[in-house]
Structure 1
Amino acid sequence: MILRTLSATLALLMLAPVAQAAPAAAAPQSDAAASVTRYRTATVDGVNIFYREAGPADGPVVLLLHGFPTSSHMFRNLIPLLADRYHVIAPDFPGFGGSAAPDHKQFVYSFGHYADLMDGLVQQLGAKKYTMYVMDYGAPVGYRLALKHPERVSGMIVQNGNAYVEGLGKFWDPIKAYWADKSQAKRTALHMLVTPEITRFQYVDGVRDVSRIDPDNWLHDQVLLDRPGNRDIQMNLFGDYGTNVPLYPQFQAFFRRYQPPTLIVWGRNDKIFPADGAYPYLRDLPHADLHLLDTGHFALEDKLDVMAPIIRQFLDSQVAPR
């Protein structure tokens, strides 16, 4: 009953007008003001894209690309820890978080389309170069963006984001079945992936101390998943994820050719993107710094105290040394 009430309330709120923030010349800011997270919406190709933004306007850009089934909400605790020095931009993909969620029959929900929209957003915001933090769905979006503009990628932070066939294990079997047979039966079989049980599973599985995980995470995500029409949006994306796999060789070729400074911080107990997908990065990025953490899929919820210093050290030394 509580979840249904929250869903109805959010649906009404989502119908309210969203304040839009057109990019403007930034006024001088104090260090404290620059570290404040601001919540903005930009229109890219006619689509409202919500994003969180913090940090000095002239600082090195860190682009945070979220995973399923969450949004830029997953970075809410990390952003203030970077914003003293870095210009942090964390968008929501359409169908997630505060971004628009057009009808799945009238809008192309695909990773290629997401990459185009993210490209449009960062160009609107004047980001000429950026370090990408990619997680889950954010990985193929970010890597497609890298193929479009390899010269813009100043570094990569990879957290449970796949680019190798070794990383698609048993969890993916029903999704692979849908790639092979786009029947309604195979699509319906994936409905369980947007249920409250699976949403919670993604946050707590593989975590040693579940009391460290805020239940608001899965409640927040589930309310958004339960919006009218959103299940079909997610089914379309499950189907389109298969288009990323043929691009893996191109992603890997980008890694080998450009050798962007890379930090890999990976929840080793993740059943969705297991550590089997982390090790192969070292074949193509032999100088990458790999950390396997004793946690699950959403590592930032459990290991922020461990990850934040590692991320800062990487950015400060490899991306924007003083």
Structure 2
Amino acid sequence: MPVPVFHRRTNVGGVDVFYREAGPPNAPVVLLPHGYPCSSYEFRDYMRHLGEDWRLLAPDFPGSGYSATPEAFAYDFDGFASFLEDFTDTLGVKRFALYLHDFGSQIGLRLAIRDPDRVTALIVQNGDIYEDVLGAKYAGLKDIWKMERAKGLGKLRESISEDHFRDEFLNDVRPELAQRIPPDLWELHWALMTERRQEIAAGIIYDLKDNLAWFPRYQAWLREHSPPTLILWGPQDGYMPEESARAWLRDLPEAELHLLDAGHWLLETSVAEAVDLTRDFLRRVHSRV
């Protein structure tokens, strides 16, 4: 049965942080870092249907959603990984299954590299750590990454708009699926984008090019630790097509891969299927979670 999702705030290293929580406080934890240009909002329905047996925690990163946007914060992948570490420490969470989606994949894996024993299982959903299978939508970004930083940031800053947010959320899904993706996603998140947040977003997107150098490190961690892994993938994704999903099996050959009739934001169109697959997976690895 669906359970309530609680909307809470806490202080993490001096930063006012908003997060969503569902499930019993003593249950095994599933940590849900969000992607761009979203927030913990992306997990709202997923959490309601899994909270009977697990404690689900979805924070808004600093500079996103309803969390604060402090000046004294490192808005890069290491900074966000440190934030996740501090967030779980603040809530007294020692171990957790980790949901990897969008740029939350790289952030979550940096956290895993820091302390592998904390990660009990992975749920991978449209997260990119294999450069040779990046989708066609990366072509425009690669052109910007060739630019000198100031020029590249300027180009990105010009492109960050409400229409850009809409395109990001609709991505390459079929028209009938697009009608099932609520406009709340881009309307809500664009309304929260201050000038400062737009600058931060441009910087993160530009610095994605430096994150590519970390891809082999992420892959090596997967090979070394081989955590139980469920891969849920929406192949209608211009950034991360089906080939990007199958690439994870190079380093996690025992992982379970499920290709859904969905795109990058599959929790908007295929949440029931995602919940069923996740519930079955977590029940089987429960002793390790």
Shorter chain as denominator, the TM-score bin is: over 0.9
Partner of 1:41: 9
The Cα of 1:168 is off from its aligned counterpart by 2.6
CA distance 1:319–1:161, change in 2 (3 Å) = farther
The Cα of 1:171 is off from its aligned counterpart by 1.8
The Cα of 1:321 is off from its aligned counterpart by 8.1
Partner of 2:122: 156
2:93 counterpart of 1:93:
no
User: Secondary structure, in 3 states, of the residue corresponding to 1:108?
Assistant: coil
CA distance 1:248–1:303, change in 2 (3 Å) = same
Extract structure 1 runs of 4+ deviating beyond 6 A.
none
Which of 51, 54, 61 is the equivalent residue of 2:22? Answer: 54
C-alpha deviations, 1:138-193, integer Å up to 9, x for none? Answer: 10110000000101110000111111113433322333344343343322222354
2:276 counterpart of 1:309:
yes
Which of 105, 108, 119 is the equivalent residue of 1:142? Answer: 108
Partner of 1:19: none
Structure 2 residue runs without a partner (length 5+)? none
**Identity among equivalent pairs (%):** 37
Partner of 1:115: 81
TM-score (norm: length of structure 2): 0.93
User: Secondary structure, in 3 states, of the residue corresponding to 1:278?
Assistant: helix
Equivalent residues in 2 for 1:66-105, closer than 5 Å: 66-103=34-71
CA distance 1:190–1:95, change in 2 (3 Å) = same
Which of 270, 282, 297 is the equivalent residue of 2:264? Answer: 297
Distance in 1, matches of 2:142 and 2:14, equals 32
Distance in 2, matches of 1:209 and 1:181, equals 35
Partner of 2:244: 277
The Cα of 1:320 is off from its aligned counterpart by 4.4
Amino acid of the residue matched to residue 41 of structure 1?
R
How many residue pairs align between the two structures?
287
The Cα of 1:306 is off from its aligned counterpart by 1.6
Q: What is the root-mean-square deviation of aligned Cα atoms in Å?
A: 2.0
Distance in 2, matches of 1:243 and 1:42, equals 31
TM-score (norm: length of structure 1): 0.84
Kept in 1, the 8 Å contact 2:267–2:274? The answer is yes
Kept in 2, the 8 Å contact 1:95–1:230? The answer is yes
Structure 1 residue runs without a partner (length 5+)? 1-30
Partner of 2:203: 236
Partner of 1:266: 233
Equivalent residues in 2 for 1:22-37, closer than 5 Å: 35-37=3-5
Amino acid of the residue matched to residue 159 of structure 1?
Q
The Cα of 1:88 is off from its aligned counterpart by 0.7
Distance in 1, matches of 2:135 and 2:69, equals 30
Kept in 1, the 8 Å contact 2:46–2:275? The answer is yes
- The answer to which of 268-277 and 151-160 deviates more is 268-277
- The answer to which of 138-147 and 299-308 deviates more is 299-308
Amino acid of the residue matched to residue 259 of structure 2?
L
Kept in 2, the 8 Å contact 1:72–1:91? The answer is yes
The Cα of 1:64 is off from its aligned counterpart by 0.5
C-alpha deviations, 1:255-289, integer Å up to 9, x for none? Answer: 11111010111110100222222111101101100
Partner of 1:200: 166
